[in-house]
A and B are shown apart, each in its own frame.
Chain A
Amino acid sequence: MKNQIALAQTPNLSLKNPRAKKITFSKLVPYLFIAPHLILFIIFFAIPAITGIYISFTKWNLYSAPEWVGLKNYFEILVNQDSTFYHQLHNGLLNTIKYTCFSVPFFIAIPLLLAVALNTKTYGSKVFQSIFYMPTLLSISSVILTWIFMFHRNLGSINNILGINVNWFGQQPFTWIAIVIISLWWGIGGNMVIYLAALNGIDKALYESADIDGASAIHKFFHVTIPGIKHQLLYTLVLTTVAQFNIYGQPLMFSKGAPGESTRVLMMYIRELAFGSGESIAGLASAMAVILGLCIMAVSAIQFRLMRNKD
């Protein structure tokens, strides 16, 4: 930038057409700054997304060239009530939404409570902060394998400590409860770190004046803390909802969709259709994925709208 300014101020030293150069260069600079993200965005998001949408209008088995079939795949999953895939989409989507509804409130509330507790800077709070964050770094496979041992019907510590004989892998509502517990343990760290940072940003004077006014701890939490981190709360709400919509690994590895197909989520149907052990039906799978994407976009749009209105 410095060079550029210097060039502009001393036109005699610049090239033949300094103006043109200045315009192109200054126009280019912002793109250079966002280039790293832009390139990654294009390669890992834009191209796959557009390809995916295109594939959803075709019949494709991954081997031969995709064959254009128009809206047939969408008709099959959205209109044709006689089709297996109509029921798979509905069941998968319903289970995905159920899981999102079960888990998101806890994904917001528990990390928030933990963050508030850690923010009191009690003895050892840093250690606890690391401990709570640690599971986030583990892979889903190791998380599920660990918890499968814990929830084991005969040998698991959970049934033995509680003195119960519950089949966590194939009996509702226990399977959902187990999946939500596992997901929470795995994922609370991310939101907690955001809330911790946000809590540090609240003006201490607000708490002091609340103290002077004789506010209780609960009053302070609802009238100072919550409004103070409102933006972060809404931000995490949107991100968490989107993330939970993409649930896949937990039910796949933990319950394998059982009991019945009550924990079989949409991603499991999508994967089976596209990359199952039979010939791929990637077009239909992509159409399902597009519907899932649209649902996520709709939910995010509503949440963002709510966010804006509150401002």
Chain B
Amino acid sequence: MYKKLQKAVAFMCILALMFSAAACSAKPTDQSASGTGSTAEAKPAKEIEFWTVFTGPDGENMVKMIDAYNQTNPKIKVKHVPIQADELYQKVPTAVKSGENVPDLSIVHVERIKGFVANDLLQPLDDYTSQNGKINADGYVKAAWEKGEIDGKRYSVPLDVHSFVTYYNKDLLQKYGPAVLDDGAITFDEVKQVGEAAKKDKVISMGITWMRVKFLSWYEQLGGVLSEDGINPSFANDKAETVLNTVKALHDNGFTNVDGEDPVQMFRAGSVVFLPEGIWMKNSFEEINTLNFGMTHMITFDPAKKANWTSSHQMVMFKNADMTPERAAAVMDFVAWIGENSLEWAKAGQVPASLKIMENDEFKNMKQSFLLNEPDSLKIFDYEYFGYAVEALDKIVWEVPFGRMETKEALTKAQKEVQDRIANK
């Protein structure tokens, strides 16, 4: 028995070793991709540590930008530290509290800023930006810039805006609804008309993708707000019901995918006309040669009222006792440089928040540039309890269109959850 056991244990050990060896050999490539040049490694203490949430393909574009910046011989070079968003948000409070390993500069999602300020984690940047002189309101997209200011103090500088938009298959649209985009907008009525025309060919009109942000965009279009008073949730109302019932009706009439189908895959394969998706999907669609697609605003109830759910990556400095004015100035140099050289970031599929990009012809030809032409369509949500609201909505907005929950009941439940979380926080 012992021999058998020994054999089994030895076998397991070998397997474990093999896997750990594989894991180890994978590490150096990760690090080399994180933008640490050999000169940077020689003087680690002097580098500006830049924590970002760009662990996906966009991380490579960020590395390129940082490398380009480091080649300009700045006073202090920048080191890219990509961390999964959830992990970053868990690490930061500990780092700030202990005062150790606080990043010099960090990317956070715009919805988080209010909470960080309330907990006194962020460093106001007013003095630093005014010293730098290149970072000011005129240079950035209004919607993204505004959210970085709380109670008269500036806490962040936007890197980009990223929205949920509508991708459309040009060939299919030509076939089933050539006049749809004449007024520059796709309405729900047009989605229905296209759906009727496309049904016989087993092509669906609209893909049901990430419902949370679609709900928010459409609810905003109807003039709905998550909270009337800024604190208590108030989204269980007629407008929210209209949104969910509209999607449900499209589904029930066979104009959308059914639950369990993957509309993104179907769009790639050319059997979906309209696909609401994030602008970050653009590059992956461009890889498909046979797919002739365009990008435009979110589908609307009223062509005159466009609203695209938008979020923004913002650059912030966490409170750090070790930060010196010289170092902060070097950080601001980098922030300003990013604003002036953000084409690479547009190549990642994003819309840079720095308006300087509008002067660039290459950007103007990119599909996502339409968003900057109509900046009023960008809707960033900054309800104080946005995090609670979206997690409550996530539990119902997917269920109602597929007929697994009753609209009114579902919305009331979600609103109650937000209320209860606020009451117990």
A contacts, CB < 8 Å to B: 59, 61-64, 73, 76, 83-85, 129-130, 133-134, 137, 152-155, 166-171, 193, 196-197, 200-201, 257-261, 264, 272-273, 275-279, 281, 284
Q: How far is the CB of A259 from chain B (nearest CB, A)?
A: 5
A170 near B260 (CB under 8 angstroms)? yes
- Interchain residue pairs A-B with the least CB separation, the first 6: A278-B387, A167-B260, A277-B387, A153-B260, A63-B119, A278-B388
B420 near A84 (CB under 8 angstroms)? yes
B399 near A284 (CB under 8 angstroms)? no
A153 CB contacts on chain B under 8 angstroms: 260-262
Q: How far is the CB of B197 from chain A (nearest CB, A)?
A: 23
B386 CB contacts on chain A under 8 angstroms: 277-278
**Chain A: CB-nearest residue to B405:** A260
22 residue pairs of the A-B complex, CB under 8 angstroms, read A64-B119, A73-B424, A76-B424, A84-B417, A85-B424, A154-B262, A167-B260, A196-B4, A197-B5, A258-B398, A259-B404, A260-B399, A260-B405, A261-B395, A272-B391, A277-B390, A278-B385, A278-B387, A278-B421, A279-B388, A281-B424, A284-B424
B15 CB contacts on chain A under 8 angstroms: 130, 133-134, 137
A84 near B416 (CB under 8 angstroms)? yes
Q: Is the interface of B mostly helix, strand, loop or mixed?
A: helix
A84 CB contacts on chain B under 8 angstroms: 416-417, 420-421
Q: How far is the CB of A26 from chain B (nearest CB, A)?
A: 30
- B333 in the interface, Cβ–Cβ < 8 Å? no
Q: How far is the CB of A76 from chain B (nearest CB, A)?
A: 6
Q: When chains A and B are docked, how far (Å) is the Cα of A155 from the Cα of B262?
A: 9
B1-17 vs A: 1/0 string, CB under 8 Å? 10011001001100110
A63 CB contacts on chain B under 8 angstroms: 93, 97, 119, 121
A83 CB contacts on chain B under 8 angstroms: 420
Residue from the list B1, B4, B416, B425 in contact with A281, Cβ < 8 A: B425
Q: Is the interface of A mostly helix, strand, loop or mixed?
A: loop
- B402 in the interface, Cβ–Cβ < 8 Å? yes
B41 CB contacts on chain A under 8 angstroms: none
Residue from the list B97, B404, B424 in contact with A260, Cβ < 8 A: B404
B258 CB contacts on chain A under 8 angstroms: 167
A273 CB contacts on chain B under 8 angstroms: 421
Q: How far is the CB of B13 from chain A (nearest CB, A)?
A: 12
Q: A275-B86, A278-B425, A279-B425 are in contact. List 8 more A-B contacts (CB 8 A).
A: A63-B97, A85-B420, A133-B12, A137-B15, A153-B262, A171-B259, A193-B12, A276-B387
B contacts, CB < 8 Å to A: 1, 4-5, 8, 11-12, 15-16, 19, 86, 90, 93, 97, 111, 115, 119, 121, 258-262, 265-266, 385-391, 395, 398-399, 402, 404-405, 416-417, 420-421, 424-425
B262 near A201 (CB under 8 angstroms)? no
Residue from the list A85, A166, A201, A279 in contact with B387, Cβ < 8 A: A279
B19 near A137 (CB under 8 angstroms)? yes
Q: How far is the CB of B162 from chain A (nearest CB, A)?
A: 16
**Chain A: CB-nearest residue to B18:** A137
Q: How far is the CB of B57 from chain A (nearest CB, A)?
A: 17
Q: When chains A and B are docked, how far (Å) is the Cα of A63 from the Cα of B112?
A: 14
B8 near A193 (CB under 8 angstroms)? yes
A133 CB contacts on chain B under 8 angstroms: 12, 15
A169 CB contacts on chain B under 8 angstroms: 259-260
Q: When chains A and B are docked, how far (Å) is the Cα of A197 from the Cα of B391?
A: 47
Q: When chains A and B are docked, how far (Å) is the Cα of A73 from the Cα of B424?
A: 8
A171 near B425 (CB under 8 angstroms)? no
A272 CB contacts on chain B under 8 angstroms: 391
B390 CB contacts on chain A under 8 angstroms: 277
Q: When chains A and B are docked, how far (Å) is the Cα of A275 from the Cα of B405?
A: 27
Q: How far is the CB of A94 from chain B (nearest CB, A)?
A: 16
Q: When chains A and B are docked, how far (Å) is the Cα of A27 from the Cα of B15?
A: 39
A258 CB contacts on chain B under 8 angstroms: 398-399
Q: How far is the CB of B402 from chain A (nearest CB, A)?
A: 7
A276/B399 contact (C-beta < 8 A), A85-B420, A281-B425 known: no
**Chain A: CB-nearest residue to B109:** A277
Q: When chains A and B are docked, how far (Å) is the Cα of A167 from the Cα of B97?
A: 47
**Chain B: CB-nearest residue to A148:** B262
B93 near A62 (CB under 8 angstroms)? yes
Q: When chains A and B are docked, how far (Å) is the Cα of A62 from the Cα of B93?
A: 8
A197 near B1 (CB under 8 angstroms)? yes
Q: How far is the CB of A178 from chain B (nearest CB, A)?
A: 11
Q: When chains A and B are docked, how far (Å) is the Cα of A258 from the Cα of B111?
A: 26
B404 CB contacts on chain A under 8 angstroms: 170, 259-260
B11 CB contacts on chain A under 8 angstroms: 130
B421 CB contacts on chain A under 8 angstroms: 84, 273, 278, 281
B260 near A171 (CB under 8 angstroms)? yes
B265 CB contacts on chain A under 8 angstroms: 154-155
Q: When chains A and B are docked, how far (Å) is the Cα of A200 from the Cα of B5?
A: 9
A168 near B1 (CB under 8 angstroms)? no
B16 near A137 (CB under 8 angstroms)? yes
Q: When chains A and B are docked, how far (Å) is the Cα of A169 from the Cα of B262?
A: 11
B420 CB contacts on chain A under 8 angstroms: 83-85
Q: When chains A and B are docked, how far (Å) is the Cα of A284 from the Cα of B388?
A: 15
A168/B424 contact (C-beta < 8 A), A61-B119, A278-B386 known: no
A261 CB contacts on chain B under 8 angstroms: 395
Q: How far is the CB of B83 from chain A (nearest CB, A)?
A: 15
Q: How far is the CB of B133 from chain A (nearest CB, A)?
A: 33
B260 near A168 (CB under 8 angstroms)? yes
> Which of A260, A276, A279 counts the most B-chain CB atoms under 10 A from its CB?
A279
